[in-house]
Amino acid sequence: MADFKKVGIVGIGGLMGHGVAQVTAAAGYQVLGIESQQSALDAGVKRIDDSLSKVVARNVKKGVYDEAAGAAEKAEIMGRISTSLDINDASSCDLVIEAIPENMDLKLEFYKNLGNIVESNPDCVFASNTSSLQITQMAEISGRPDKFVGLHFFNPVQLMKLVEVIRTDHTNDETFDKMITFGKKIGKTTVSAKDTPGFIVNRLLVPYLTQAMAMVDRDEASIEDIDVSMQLGAGHPMGPIHLSDYIGLDTCHSIIVGWQKDFPKEAAFIMPECLDAKVKAGDFGRKTGKGFYHWDGEKKGERVE
Ligand code: CAA
């Protein structure tokens, strides 16, 4: 089973895309980061640079290597990442990981186009990092459903140890096995998931987050008390309101909108009023500097009154 030589990451500018590009390059793969706008490409490269600086500083502090070796390692990883504004360049890759916005129409259009672009490279595998959309639909429109998986990472990709590998009824064994191997090579624990709403993690996590927001709607507890309760009472690294802000309220919102449309009878898929109001006001949490809490970059501040 031949390994991948060059991995295309479409959407390298985003929260997930830059992290996936970083861990892939750090594992020794050549990476081609693709974006449609120069500003997004620049933002992605800067995010990777900043994150690698943190990794190096931590390793120097731990005595893994000295500053010079850390700088050399960082330069080596950055050197494996090339970039492009032209999706046609994906034809030079043998794995393309897509991390574009969570909109099914956009993704279907993207995969129809990508299938044509990569037609001359029949072994190229496609992997979507969607957090909640159906993989089968994308696989079918791509023209290579047997070489298509979901590859769902978690935020922050650099630190979270899991990747879900989602196979559809069309995915062949070789592709699935290759992707499990790829997940392990980039340092993640892999789990195998089916093409069900939210796969494993989000099917459990998102209803939990929205239940916490429903408590806010019912004025049953303050957001700080909900967060501290789940941190100290259940051992979670972040409470649910904090985590929702961290993931992005727009992301939580769009997952629920999609699920309610596709599974209207599923009682677990609720839209809390406070979530809907925040998103309509453009307050998406960490990424906009304001959600349930104020944010200064990565740092959570006081609650929004
Ligand atoms: N890159 C590199 N290093 C980073 C980093 C990044 N992006 N972010 C943080 N670090 C480093 C920090 O610099 C810090 O280094 P030092 O120890 O040298 O200071 C170290 O990592 C630990 O960071 P923090 O002290 O800031 O944070 P922490 O120990 O509290 O852990 C966390 C941070 C891992 C995010 C933890 O709070 C956590 O696990 N939170 C829950 C995250 C979670 O649940 N994610 C899944 C969301 S769901 C999802 O993503 C799926 C979806 O589809 C919606």
Q: Which long-range contacts (CB under 8 A, 24 or more apart) does 252-257 make?
A: 252/206, 252/209, 252/210, 253/279, 254/102, 254/103, 254/132, 255/102, 255/131, 255/132, 255/198, 255/202, 255/206, 256/206, 256/210
DSSP 62-108: HTSS-HHHHHHHHHHHHHTEEEES-GGGGGG-SEEEE---S-HHHHH
- Strands 95-98 vs 81-84: parallel, antiparallel or unpaired: unpaired
**Longest CA–CA separation in the chain, Å:** 58
- The pTM (predicted TM-score) of the whole model is 0.95
Q: What is the pLDDT of residue 2?
A: 73
Give, for 6, the enclosing helix (H) or strand (E).
strand 6-10
131 is catalytic: yes
What amino acid is encoded at 104 in this protein? M
pLDDT band at 305 (very low <50, low <70, confident <90, very high): confident
Taking residue 305's Cβ as centre, other Cβ atoms within 10 Å add up to 4
Inter-CA distances, 173 with 11, 81, 111, Å: 27, 29, 21
Dihedral sign for Cα 183, 79, 102, 50, please. Answer: positive
SS3 283: coil
Mean pLDDT of 191-198: 97
Known active-site residue 98:
no
Beta strands 81-84; 30-34: pairing state: parallel
Annotated active-site residue in 132, 142, 164, 253: 164
Measure 300 CA to ligand 1 centroid, in angstroms. 13
- Going by the DSSP 8-state scheme, the letter that residue 285 receives in this structure is B
* Whether pLDDT at 257 is above 90: yes
Question: Does ligand 1 have an atom closer than 6 angstroms to the CB of 163?
Answer: no
159 CA to middle of ligand 1, Å? 6
Task: Check residue 1 and give its pLDDT.
Answer: 60
152 is catalytic: yes
pLDDT of residue 300: 97
Question: Could you identify the atom of ligand 1 that is nearest to the CA of residue 159?
Answer: 34
Share of the chain above pLDDT 90, in %: 97
pLDDT tens profile 81-104: 999 999 999 999 999 999 999 999
Is 264 close to ligand 1, i.e. is its CB under 6 Å away? no
Compute the distance between CA of residue 8 and CA of residue 289 in angstroms, rounded to an integer.
Answer: 30
Q: Does the C-beta of 53 come closer than 6 Å to ligand 1?
A: no
Measure CA 263 to chain center. 23
| Beta-sheet pairing, 148-152 with 125-128 | parallel
DSSP state of 290: B
The pLDDT of residue 10 is 98
Dihedral angle over CA of 80, 128, 243, 49, nearest 10: 10
User: What are the pLDDT digits (tens) for 129-180?
Assistant: 999 999 999 999 999 999 999 999 999 999 999 999 999 999 999 999 999 9
Query: How many A from CA of 127 to the centre of ligand 1?
Result: 24
pLDDT digits (tens, 9 = 90+) for 201-231: 999 999 999 999 999 999 999 999 999 999 9
Distance, in Å, from the CA atom of 297 to the CA atom of 188, rounded to the nearest integer, reads 26
CA-based torsion, 87, 93, 99, 105: positive or negative: positive
